[in-house]
Structure 1
Amino acid sequence: MSGFKRVLIILASVATVLALAVGGGFLWLYSGAKVSTVGRTSFRNELAVPPLAESTVTADGTRVFDLKMQAGETEFKAGRKTPTWGFNGSYLGPTLRAERGEKVQVRVRNTLGEASSVHWHGMRLPAKMDGGPHQMVAPGTTWSPHWKVDQPAATLWYHPHPHGETEDHVQRGLAGMFILDDAKSQGLALPDTYGVNDLPLVVQDVKFDGARFDHGKGVTQTVGFLGDRTMVNGTLDPYQVVGDELVRLRLLNASTARTYDFGFDDSRAFSLIGTDGGLLEKAARMDRIQLSPGERAEVVVRVRPGERTVLRSFPLDIGQDFYNQRFNGGDDTFDVLELRAKRRLRPSPALPATLGKLEIPDGSHAARGRFFDLKLSGINGKRMSMGRIDETVTRGTTETWTVRNTNGMPHNFHVHGVQFRVVSVNGREPEPALRGAKDTVFIPDGTTVKLAMRFDGPADPNAPFMYHCHLLYHEDQGMMGQFVVVEKGQKAGRPAASHAHQGH
Structure 2
Amino acid sequence: MSSVSRPHWLRRLLLGLAALVTVLLLSIGGCVSRVYVGATVSTVGSTEFRNELAIPPLAESVVRPDGTRVFQLAMRPGRKEFRPGQTTETWGFNGDYLGPTLRARRGEQVAVEVRNTLSEPSTVHWHGMHLPAAMDGGPHQMVAAGATWTPRWTVDQPAATLWYHPHPHGATEEHVRRGLAGMFLLDDDVSEALPLPKNYGVDDLPVIVQDVKFRGAEFDSSHRIFRDVGFLGDQTMVNGTMTPYRTVGDELVRLRLLNASTARVYTFGFADNRRFSLVATDGGLMEHPVALDSLRLSPGERAEIVVRVRPGERTVLRSNKLDAGLGFWTQRFAGGDDAFDILELRAASTLRPSPELPAALAHPSTPDGSDSVLERRFELNLSGINGQPMAMDRIDLTVTKGTAETWVVHNNDGMPHNFHVHDVQFRVLEINGAPPPDTSTGPKDTIFLAPDATAKLAMRFDGPADPNSPYMYHCHLLWHEDQGMMGQFVVVEPGQSAGKPPSHHGH
Q: Is the pair's TM-score, using the shorter chain for normalization, greater than 0.5? A: yes
Q: What TM-score comes out, normalization by structure 1 length?
A: 0.99
Q: Deviations over 1:469-504 (max 9, x none)?
A: 000000000000000000000000000113211xxx
Q: 2:186 aligns with which of 180, 190, 202?
A: 180
Moved segments of 4+, more than 6 Å: none
Q: Is the 8 A contact 1:386 1:498 kept in 2?
A: no
Does 1:276 pair with 2:277?
no
Identity percentage over the alignment? 67
2:262 maps to 256
1:199 maps to 205
Q: Is the 8 A contact 1:201 1:252 kept in 2?
A: yes
Q: Deviations over 1:272-320 (max 9, x none)?
A: 0000000000000010110000000000000011100000000001111
2:86 maps to 80
Q: What secondary structure, in the 3-state scheme, does the structure 2 residue paired with 1:18 have?
A: helix
1:143 maps to 149
Does 1:322 pair with 2:322?
no
1:158 maps to 164
Equivalence map 1:416-435=2 (5 Å) = 416-435=422-441
2:389 maps to 383
Q: Is the 8 A contact 2:409 2:456 kept in 1?
A: yes
Does 1:498 pair with 2:501?
no
Q: 1:471 aligns with which of 477, 485, 491?
A: 477
* Count of residue pairs brought into register by the alignment: 501
Query: Alpha carbon RMSD of aligned pairs, Å?
Result: 0.7
C-alpha distance in structure 2 between counterparts of 1:499 and 1:457, whole Å: 22
The offset of 1:149, in angstroms, is 0.3
C-alpha distance in structure 2 between counterparts of 1:212 and 1:458, whole Å: 43
C-alpha distance in structure 1 between counterparts of 2:363 and 2:393, whole Å: 38
Q: Deviations over 1:201-252 (max 9, x none)?
A: 0000000000000000012111000000000000000000000000000000
C-alpha distance in structure 2 between counterparts of 1:15 and 1:267, whole Å: 50
Counterpart AA for 1:154: A
Counterpart AA for 1:396: G
2:454 maps to 448
The offset of 1:413, in angstroms, is 0.3
1:374 maps to 380
2:35 maps to 29
The offset of 1:62, in angstroms, is 0.5
The offset of 1:17, in angstroms, is 1.2
2:241 maps to 235
C-alpha distance in structure 1 between counterparts of 2:359 and 2:207, whole Å: 25
The offset of 1:20, in angstroms, is 1.2
Q: What secondary structure, in the 3-state scheme, does the structure 1 residue paired with 2:336 have?
A: coil
Does 1:300 pair with 2:295?
no
The offset of 1:8, in angstroms, is 1.4
Counterpart AA for 1:96: L
The offset of 1:16, in angstroms, is 1.4
C-alpha distance in structure 2 between counterparts of 1:372 and 1:224, whole Å: 22
- Compare CA radii of gyration and give the structure with the larger one: 2
Q: Is the 8 A contact 1:223 1:257 kept in 2?
A: yes
C-alpha distance in structure 1 between counterparts of 2:252 and 2:161, whole Å: 19
2:421 maps to 415
Task: Structure 1: give runs of 5+ residues left out of the alignment.
Answer: none
C-alpha distance in structure 2 between counterparts of 1:19 and 1:111, whole Å: 53
C-alpha distance in structure 2 between counterparts of 1:386 and 1:446, whole Å: 28
Q: Deviations over 1:318-377 (max 9, x none)?
A: 111111100110000000000000111111110001001111001011100111000000
The offset of 1:180, in angstroms, is 0.1
C-alpha distance in structure 2 between counterparts of 1:499 and 1:275, whole Å: 33
C-alpha distance in structure 2 between counterparts of 1:310 and 1:185, whole Å: 27
C-alpha distance in structure 2 between counterparts of 1:106 and 1:192, whole Å: 24
C-alpha distance in structure 1 between counterparts of 2:301 and 2:204, whole Å: 18
The offset of 1:457, in angstroms, is 2.0
Does 1:17 pair with 2:23?
yes
1:288 maps to 294
Deviates more, 1:380-389 or 1:22-31: 22-31
Task: Structure 2: give runs of 5+ residues left out of the alignment.
Answer: 1-6
Q: 1:62 aligns with which of 49, 62, 68?
A: 68
C-alpha distance in structure 1 between counterparts of 2:322 and 2:370, whole Å: 33
Q: 1:484 aligns with which of 472, 485, 490?
A: 490
Q: Is the 8 A contact 1:191 1:246 kept in 2?
A: yes
Q: 1:247 aligns with which of 232, 247, 253?
A: 253
Q: What TM-score comes out, normalization by structure 2 length?
A: 0.98
2:173 maps to 167
Does 1:95 pair with 2:108?
no
C-alpha distance in structure 2 between counterparts of 1:124 and 1:328, whole Å: 32
Q: What secondary structure, in the 3-state scheme, does the structure 2 residue paired with 1:372 have?
A: strand
The offset of 1:11, in angstroms, is 1.3
